[in-house]
C-alpha cells in the first residue's frame, strides 16, 4: 500500500504533475512527480551557487525541493521550486531573475520544453 502525502498542497501538486504528464505527453512532469512522492528527507536542497554554475542567462530551472541562499547568482534565471529561503528569493531578485512555484511553471509551460531540473 502506498502512503499518501498529508500536505494538501503537495498531494494536489503531485496529482497535477501526473495529469499534465499524461495530457501533454511531457515526461518531465512525471519525473518531478516521482521525485516529490519520495519522503521529504530526500527532497533536493539546492544552493544559489549550484544554480549559478549549472545555468546560463535567461534559463528556466526547476528544483524539486527547496532553494537555499548560499552563494552568488550573477545572471538572471527563472527558478521554480517547492519552497525558497528568504535569502534565496532576495539573491534571485537582485540578479534580475524570477522566483516562481512549480504550480505556476506548469501553467506557464504545460509542455515542459526548455526546463532544466537541478537537484
Give the DSSP per-residue string, 50-113.
Answer: HHHHH--TT-EEEEEEEEE--S---S--EEEEEEE-HHHHHHHHHTT-EEEEHHHHHHH-TT-T
Q: Domains of the chain: which residue ranges?
A: 8-117
Among 36-45, 60-69, 95-104, whose mean pLDDT is lowest? 36-45
Q: Is the pLDDT of residue 1 over 60?
A: no
Residue range 17-43: mean pLDDT, rounded: 93
Separation CA 49–CA 64 (nearest Å): 17
Given 3.40.50.1000, 3.30.1460.30, 3.40.50.970, 3.100.10.10, which CATH number is that of 8-117? 3.100.10.10
According to DSSP, residue 43 is labeled: S
Amino acid at each position: 500500500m502506498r502512503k499518501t502525502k498529508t500536505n494538501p498542497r503537495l498531494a494536489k501538486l503531485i496529482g497535477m504533475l501526473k495529469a499534465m504528464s499524461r495530457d501533454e505527453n511531457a515526461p518531465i512532469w512525471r519525473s518531478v512527480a516521482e521525485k516529490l512522492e519520495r519522503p521529504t528527507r530526500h527532497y533536493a536542497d539546492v544552493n544559489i551557487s549550484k544554480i549559478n554554475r549549472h545555468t546560463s542567462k535567461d534559463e528556466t530551472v526547476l528544483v524539486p525541493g527547496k532553494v537555499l541562499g548560499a552563494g552568488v547568482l550573477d545572471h538572471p534565471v527563472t527558478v521554480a521550486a517547492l519552497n525558497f529561503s528568504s535569502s534565496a528569493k532576495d539573491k534571485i531578485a537582485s540578479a534580475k531573475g524570477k522566483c516562481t512555484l512549480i504550480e505556476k511553471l506548469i501553467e506557464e509551460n504545460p509542455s515542459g520544453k526548455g526546463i532544466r531540473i537541478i537537484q
